[in-house]
Amino acid sequence: MLGDSRKAHEVFHTTLREAAVRAAQGELPREPLWLFRDARWRSLEASKTDLQPEPLELDEHDATPEAALQIEQLEPTQLAIWISNAPDPQRTALALFYLDEFDYCEILDIAELKLNVLSRYLSQGRRQLQAWLDAKHPEPRQI
């Protein structure tokens, strides 16, 4: 989410340190995804001091059956960099979606979004990603 591994490590360690203190004091929240939400808010706070991208209208293409092959050709860092450039909360939604570790209900909870907003962010992000993939890898290699 931060696009800077040093800051990401700082947020990660600060979040875990705070969780350890809360655990020692018996003050851990009962909700299962509180740690992810806390880390998200710390990441957003840390990114406020960074240069912010200007709002930009990105090209959008309908997702194609070849999208999976195009994504397979990417290095994981390329996808991470692309996602980190999205505005938040779309960035959070895309990051959690492409991690493939959370179901939709968990993404809604962590990102604190309503279903129709999450749907819009994911749909728009996937169309923008498809346009970027088409420009980067116009013809996917058969693997």
- pTM of whole model > 0.75? no
118 occurs within a structural domain: yes
Alpha carbon dihedral 27, 31, 36, 39, in 10-degree steps, equals -30
Report which of 72, 116, 109 is spatially closest to residue 92, judged by C-alpha positions: 109
| 8 A C-beta contact, residue 59 and residue 131 | yes
Higher pLDDT, 29 or 57: 29
Same domain, 29 and 88: no
Do 121 and 141 fall within a single domain? yes
Domain extent for 46: 1-52
Verify that 68 and 14 share a domain, yes or no.
Answer: no
85 & 126 share domain: yes
The string of pLDDT tens digits covering residues 39-73 is 887 877 777 766 455 555 667 888 888 887 888 88
The verdict on 74 and 24 lying in the same domain is no
76 and 142 assigned to the same domain: yes
Number of domains in the chain: 2
Q: How far apart (Å, rounded) are the C-alpha atoms in residues 86 and 82? A: 7
Does residue 127 lie in a domain region? yes
User: Does residue 9 form part of some domain?
Assistant: yes
Q: Is residue 57 part of a domain?
A: no
Give the pLDDT confidence of 91-140 residue by residue, as tens digits: 889 888 888 888 999 999 888 899 999 999 999 988 888 888 888 766 65
Inside any domain, residue 72: yes
What is the token pair recorded at 97? 């979606």
Q: What confidence category does residue 28 fall into, taking pLDDT thresholds of 50, 70 and 90? A: confident
In a shared domain, residues 72 and 121? yes
Q: Look at residue 18 and tell me whether its pLDDT is greater than 90.
A: no
Judgement on whether residues 72 and 10 belong to the same structural domain of the protein: no
Nearest Cα to Cα of residue 43 among 72, 19, 14: 14
74 and 44 in one domain? no
User: Quick one: pLDDT at residue 61?
Assistant: 86
The pLDDT value recorded for residue 20 is 84
Same domain, 86 and 23: no
Count of CA atoms in the C-beta half-sphere (13 A) of 141 = 5
Same domain, 1 and 34: yes
Residue 1: what pLDDT?
A: 57
